[in-house]
């Protein structure tokens, strides 16, 4: 089995794959203060709870947007699984042509998303990851990663609204019944949720225009994708495991070098 790890600013998403099939999926809070042993014991407990043996893992692949935690996770992999993880980094085989001006600036999670979106759904396509930041990527019909956009995520925008105003209260990030809020809470919810839907719809429209592909497929992933996709028909596919699927695909493309 292959263990995939996607280390994000808020959560570490991890899944076990047996061949192409995902057999287990877990989310762990990203905590820069945790030691390698603490992360190792969390995974050991998850494996045990799901009647899995850590010795069944034959390979590990990881992406990370939190460099300060990478050494800790790598150390955990060596101590608890007896192997070094494959890091998605410049020089790794991906099967796509990255047209970014400086490929080293491109987040490894976006590379994994690009590989999965193009491999599983074809090109041209646009993929959106609704995480702490919302990231967009554009793939051409020839499998070229052309670039994209990066915006504050929904939760980040909501937190900024509360933190930097004196009187606005904290609120639940949920869709209100009406875009015309009749109180402060519903007004904030309307502004954040419906405003974000408008942003997403407009960015997709402009990307399709620049790409010259009005029928490009749009694939969404990330924790808040469902909240946005329910309010727009601009998103064609929801795939909550896109990044982890991309990591597995990258591992397979580089598998021979790890054996």
Residues designated as active site: 109
Query: What residues form DSSP beta bridges with 97?
Result: 144
Q: How, if at all, do strands 217-221 and 125-130 pair?
A: parallel
Dihedral (Cα; 137, 140, 145, 147), 10-degree rounding: -50
**What are the beta bridge partners of residue 92?**
none
Which residues fall within 8 angstroms of residue 79, CB to CB, at 6 or more apart? 36, 37, 40
- Both tokens of 97, joined, read 């042509």
Burial readout 31-42 (b: 16 or more C-beta within 10 A, e: otherwise): eeebebeebbeb
Q: Residue 168 corresponds to which tokens in the numbers above?
A: 């606005």
Are 223 and 251 within 8 A, CB to CB? Answer: no
**Residue 101 to residue 109: CA distance in whole angstroms:** 18
Q: How far is the CA of 187 from the CAs of 57, 158, 190, in angstroms?
A: 49, 12, 5
Rounded to whole angstroms, the Cα distance separating 30 from 69 reads 9
Residue 108 in 3-state DSSP? Answer: helix
Phi, psi of 233 (to 5 degrees): -95, 10
């Amino acid at each position: 089995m292959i263990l995939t790890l996607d280390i994000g600013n808020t959560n570490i998403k991890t899944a076990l794959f047996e061949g192409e099939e995902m057999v287990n999926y877990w989310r762990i809070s990203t905590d820069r203060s945790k030691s390698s042993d603490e992360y190792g014991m969390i995974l050991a407990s998850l494996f045990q709870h799901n009647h899995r043996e850590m010795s069944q893992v034959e390979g590990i692949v990881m992406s990370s947007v939190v460099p300060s935690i990478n050494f800790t996770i790598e150390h955990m992999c060596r101590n608890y699984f007896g192997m070094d993880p494959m890091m998605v980094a410049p020089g790794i085989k991906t099967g796509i042509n990255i047209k970014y001006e400086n490929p080293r600036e491109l987040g490894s999670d976006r590379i994994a998303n690009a590989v999965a979106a193009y491999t599983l759904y074809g090109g041209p396509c646009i993929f959106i990851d609704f995480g702490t930041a919302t990231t967009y990527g554009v793939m051409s019909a020839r499998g070229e990663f052309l670039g994209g956009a990066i915006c504050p995520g929904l939760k980040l925008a909501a937190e900024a609204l509360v933190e930097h105003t004196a009187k606005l209260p904290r609120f639940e990030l949920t869709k209100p019944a009406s875009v015309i809020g009749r109180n402060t809470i519903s007004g904030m919810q309307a502004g954040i949720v419906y405003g974000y839907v408008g942003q997403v719809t407009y960015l997709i429209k402009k990307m399709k225009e620049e790409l010259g592909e009005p029928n490009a497929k749009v694939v969404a992933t990330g924790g808040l994708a469902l909240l946005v996709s329910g309010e727009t028909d601009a998103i064609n596919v929801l795939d909550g495991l896109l990044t982890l699927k991309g990591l597995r695909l990258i591992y397979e493309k580089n598998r021979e070098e790890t054996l």
